[in-house]
Amino acid sequence: MSEAAVSHYLAEYEQFRDTLTAPWFAQPRAAALDFLRTNGFPSRRTEQWKYTDVTPITRKKFTVGRSAPAAVDDAFVDSLRFSRLDCHELVFINGSFSAALSRNEPLPEGVAVQPLQSVKPDDALLLDSCFVDGEIKNAFSALNTAFVNDGVLIHVPDNTEVAIPIHIIYISGQADATLMSNPRNLVALGRNAGASVIESFAGIPDTEYLTNNHTAILGRAGSRLDYYSIQQESQRAYHIGNTRIRQQADSRVDCHTLSLGGKLARSDIDVELDEPGAEVKLNGLYLTNNRQHVDNHTLVEHKQPHTTSHEHFRGVMNGHSRAVFNGKVIVHEQAQKTEAHQSNANLLLSGNAEVDTKPELEIYADDVKCSHGATVGQLDENMLFYLRSRGVDEHTARSLLTYAFAEEIIRDIRFPEIRERLEHSIAGELPDTDLIEEFVK
């Protein structure tokens, strides 16, 4: 199965190469193809993919869109924007930048926010270590490196704060093709710089496609980033997300990921806290239903003393869906005074839903504060009874408790407009939420 897929993508690459409008990055592409040729796609024998079978993806043989992307309904695009929050917006259709749909807001001097297509091949930024960061993790990062054709480059110079959020919207799906897109986003914050970046992934309803995204984040000393990834792909879509975060001294990254859509979604977040004082917060929420499969793998490496991580993932599983959470934390020997906290809580709404959760802690330093916990359960009977004893009917009480469980993950998002949007999206995915409107607002 995997060999057939590999030869498909090698052949696809031969055609794709001719269409490359920005033929940069030749070396890494070749290396990526080599990787693919040698290693193929992961199977369930690969430890990292033990619970996630990718054959539904490899069987599909996705292609790169060759024709101009089909027009997308304006109302659909508008529904993805934050109407009451000014954002610098970049919109992509099937992986290609659409200037017409994007909106520019004034940015501070020296800040670069541009689609990769418009980056000059010899631009020094492109060669920034966070982009060519060499390591190819698996077939999907290889595929991304080989086929990357667009994406966003964000560079915020030292001591500069970008007040308005930068919103990147990826809209995918075409009725008559099974397309793939391989966006690559680079966020590099200078010393003491600050920014908020939102990535939204959405699909034309009922279309089948693969989004294979790679985002690299570099936070230099004293920088601060608010990062959101909102995955609401079509119910038939496949989504692979790779996020690599590297942080220098006293930098802070707050990362919020929401996994709501897709038939099969796999998200990897790898964080390296490379210098003292670096702090990361990873908040994640996944809501699954029907036959959805969602897999979240996180890796946090504490490499130096006085680094901090707070990780909190929650999931609500309904129908015949399945979720996987694997949270690995490595505290290296020299990383004394590290604080690392991780928790993963899961709510199973259906007897046919399943979750595999696995915290993995490797601690090589001795003066550290670490904690982890994973729970899988149903709604709390005491809470249910309390609500019912106040006259709330059982359906409503269940819906309310489910919503409250999920909502906790997004409660401290600092932009009210983003929080409200996400509350709305969460309510849209959970059962009976029409019953709880008056509790919610």
Partner 1 sequence: MLTINNLKVGIGNKQILKGLDLTVNTGEVHAIMGPNGSGKSTLANVLAGRDNYEVMSGTVEYDGRDLFELAPEERAREGIFLAFQYPVEIPGVNNIYLLKAALNGIRKHQGKGALDAVEFLQVVREKMKLVKMDESLLNRSVNEGFSGGEKKRNEIFQMAVLDPRLAILDETDSGLDIDALKTVAEGVNSLRNESRSIVLVTHYQRLLNYIVPDYVHVLSDGKIIRSGSRELAVELEEKGYDWVRQEARAA
386 forms part of the interface with partner 1 (CB under 8 A): yes
231 backbone φψ class: left, alpha, beta (φ>0; ψ -120 to 50): beta
364 forms part of the interface with partner 1 (CB under 8 A): no
Cα separation, 17 vs 10, in Å, equals: 11
Q: Which of 68, 381, 414, 434 binds partner 1 (CB under 8 A)?
A: 381
Cα separation, 277 vs 271, in Å, equals: 14
Among 189, 202, 286, smallest CA distance to 245 is for 189
Task: Tally Cβ neighbours within 10 Å of residue 70.
Answer: 14
Per the CB < 8 A criterion, the answer to whether 331 and 370 are in contact is yes
Cα separation, 368 vs 56, in Å, equals: 42
The nearer residue to partner 1, 21 or 389, going by C-beta atoms, is 389
CB of 294 to partner 1, least distance (A): 22
Instruction: Copy the structure tokens of residue 281.
Output: 């917060």
Task: Tally Cβ neighbours within 10 Å of residue 311.
Answer: 23
367 forms part of the interface with partner 1 (CB under 8 A): no
CB of 429 to partner 1, least distance (A): 16
Q: Which of 66, 394, 416, 428 binds partner 1 (CB under 8 A)?
A: 394
313 forms part of the interface with partner 1 (CB under 8 A): no
388 forms part of the interface with partner 1 (CB under 8 A): yes
254 forms part of the interface with partner 1 (CB under 8 A): no
CB of 441 to partner 1, least distance (A): 8
- Looking at 35-43, 114-122, 135-143, 399-407, which segment touches partner 1 (CB under 8 A)? 399-407
382 forms part of the interface with partner 1 (CB under 8 A): yes
Per the CB < 8 A criterion, the answer to whether 348 and 377 are in contact is yes
Q: Which of 281, 403, 426, 427 binds partner 1 (CB under 8 A)?
A: 403
Cα separation, 436 vs 396, in Å, equals: 6
Task: Tally Cβ neighbours within 10 Å of residue 391.
Answer: 8
392 forms part of the interface with partner 1 (CB under 8 A): yes
The nearer residue to partner 1, 134 or 391, going by C-beta atoms, is 391
270 backbone φψ class: left, alpha, beta (φ>0; ψ -120 to 50): beta
379 forms part of the interface with partner 1 (CB under 8 A): no
Q: Which of 393, 412, 424, 428 binds partner 1 (CB under 8 A)?
A: 393
Applying CB under 8 A, the residues found at the interface with partner 1 are: 380-383, 385-394, 396-397, 400-401, 403-405, 407-408, 411, 438-440
